[in-house]
Amino acid sequence: MQQRQASRPRPIQALVDAFSLPDLRRRILFTLGALIIFRFIAHIPVPGVNPDALKTIFDQNQFLGMLDLFSGGAMRNFSIVAMGVYPYITASIIMQLLVPVIPSLQALSKEGEAGRNKINLYTHWLTVPLACLQGYGELVLLRRGDAIAASGPLTTVMIIVSMAAGTMFLVWLGELIQERGIGNGVSMIIFAGIVAGIPDMINRGFIAPDKMVALLGFALLGLATVVLIVIFTEAHRRIPVHYSRSVFRGQRMYRQSGATHIPLRVNTAGMIPLIFAMSLVILPQTVSSYFHGGVADFFQDWSNHWSYWLLYFVLVVGFAFFYTMVIFEQMELAATLQKQGGFIPGVRPGQATSTYLSQVVNRITWAGALFLGVVAVAPFILRRITGVEVVALSSTSILIMVGVALDTMKQLEAQLLMRRYEGFLK
């Protein structure tokens, strides 16, 4: 057994070990089966679609092409799952922002598992109207390009209901993956959609053989971006914490102490600032699509202008600080430490600890925020350096893919270590 393990690379051996365990193999196969179902549904269009007009619209609109990458081609087909799980993500973000503002939601968040389930139910309810609104907006936009031949109130309602139902089905499928499979279910759905769109993007990139050197440079710079994302995603600052407690042994009381640390992540906000910033910078493009001439023509092609990417960078940095502060306030680290008898060496418990942690979070967030800002404008920089316009993998999609891959590997690692097998990571 040891010789066979030594003859194989560690990742391959870990994969063999994972499939040799019946329960873990069942989880992996269930996840793959659910993702295959998602990919089949992504090719079921809504009624009345004009495929030729739809293809023309997506070839001419870079913004729609970027959204299509996230859906794995479901939007290009105008499938019943064209919106993916993004209405659910929007609802989740809204609920996260409302929890510290509304006292009743804040009280629910402190009730443990029952409170979190209630908030999750509210998130599902909020997803339905958001999905209907987004579906109607996409329907109006595509009808202007004659991509949807069918019209009439009944047809409109039928299409919107179908798309909203498709979104809720994907949310349900993601929750099944979360319960019976491997990885975060909703994130796996997004991951599968992005990965499914990459082959077509690469194929379009190799259509221009005169830019092979530029494509190679683009690939190398993209690989360097992935490495930086991994480094900053895993980076954290360790804050030392000491705990002291009293233990009775017979008739005497002894003081015991222990040491641990609080890992404060450099990139606490994850990809949320990119989503917030993108939703704002694409608003002028969305509005201008209903008009022609003058300023409207400028905003329709705004994503190719340097001012678009400068504003994107500034908004990403600003939202990174905002969302990190929201998350940090919800964690209430200083109060939790004080309740558990923990303290940071050299810092008084209570308000002094809270102030100290806030200062540390502010300092390390600068690194995380600037990193997110650079990653956000990386596609623009790469296109300027290499001159390759046909390959445009967005920074948000790279962050999602890397984050989901790392999270899934860690879950598999934990499952293997519980059974005393070596995992994927060192």
**Of 150, 107, 158, 106, which Cα lies nearest the Cα of 132?**
158
pLDDT top residue among 330 and 261: 261
Share of the chain above pLDDT 70, in %: 72
Q: Which amino acid is at 187?
A: S
Helix extents (H) in 145-184 = 153-180
Taking the C-alpha atoms of residue 168 and residue 191, their distance in angstroms, rounded to an integer, is 17
Q: For the segment 166-213, what is each residue's pLDDT rounded down to a tens digit?
A: 999 999 999 999 888 888 888 888 888 778 777 766 666 555 555 666
User: Which stretch of 131-145, 291-305, 411-425 has the lowest confidence by average pLDDT?
Assistant: 291-305
**Of 229, 238, 310, 240, which Cα lies nearest the Cα of 267?**
229
Which structural domains are found in the chain, ordered by start? Answer: 1-207+397-426 (1.10.3370.10), 210-389 (1.10.3370.10)
**Of 229, 204, 224, which Cα lies nearest the Cα of 62?**
204
Phi, psi of 246 (to 5 degrees): -105, 135
Q: What is the 3-class SS of 108-147, one letter each residue? A: HHCCCHHHHHHHHHHHHHHHHHHHHHHHHHHHHHHHHCCC
pLDDT top residue among 171 and 73: 171
Please give the helix or strand (H or E) that residue 378 lies within, else none.
helix 351-386
**Of 323, 348, 316, which Cα lies nearest the Cα of 334?**
348
**Which residue has 């443990």 as its token pair?**
112
- Torsion-angle region of residue 98: left (phi > 0), alpha (psi -120 to 50) or beta? alpha
pLDDT at 396: 67
Look at residue 231 and tell me whether its pLDDT is greater than 60. yes
DSSP 256-281: EEEEEEEEEETTTTTTHHHHHHHHHH
pLDDT at 6: 47
| Local confidence band at 232 (pLDDT 50, 70, 90 cut-offs) | confident
Q: Which amino acid is at 87?
A: P
Q: For the segment 280-335, what is each residue's pLDDT rounded down to a tens digit?
A: 777 676 666 556 655 656 666 676 777 888 888 998 898 889 888 877 877 777 77
pTM of the model: 0.75
The sheet that has 342-343: what strands, in order across it? 252-265, 236-249, 342-343
**Of 129, 357, 226, which Cα lies nearest the Cα of 349?**
357
pLDDT top residue among 241 and 169: 169
- Contact predicate 406/234, CB 8 Å: yes
- Can you read off the two tokens belonging to residue 253? 């009381």
Q: For the segment 338-392, what is each residue's pLDDT rounded down to a tens digit?
A: 777 777 888 888 888 888 888 888 889 998 899 888 888 877 776 676 665 545 5
- Residue 384: CB atoms within 10 Å: 10
**Of 160, 131, 146, 170, which Cα lies nearest the Cα of 46?**
160
| Local confidence band at 1 (pLDDT 50, 70, 90 cut-offs) | very low
Q: Where are the beta strands (DSSP E) in 266-347?
A: 342-343
- Residue 200: CB atoms within 10 Å: 14
User: Terminal CA-to-CA distance of the chain, rounded, Å?
Assistant: 20
- Can you read off the two tokens belonging to residue 16? 């063999």
pLDDT at 310: 87
Taking the C-alpha atoms of residue 35 and residue 186, their distance in angstroms, rounded to an integer, is 11
- Contact predicate 224/381, CB 8 Å: no
**Which residue has 């600080």 as its token pair?**
321
- CA 144 vs. chain centroid, Å, equals 31
pLDDT at 94: 83
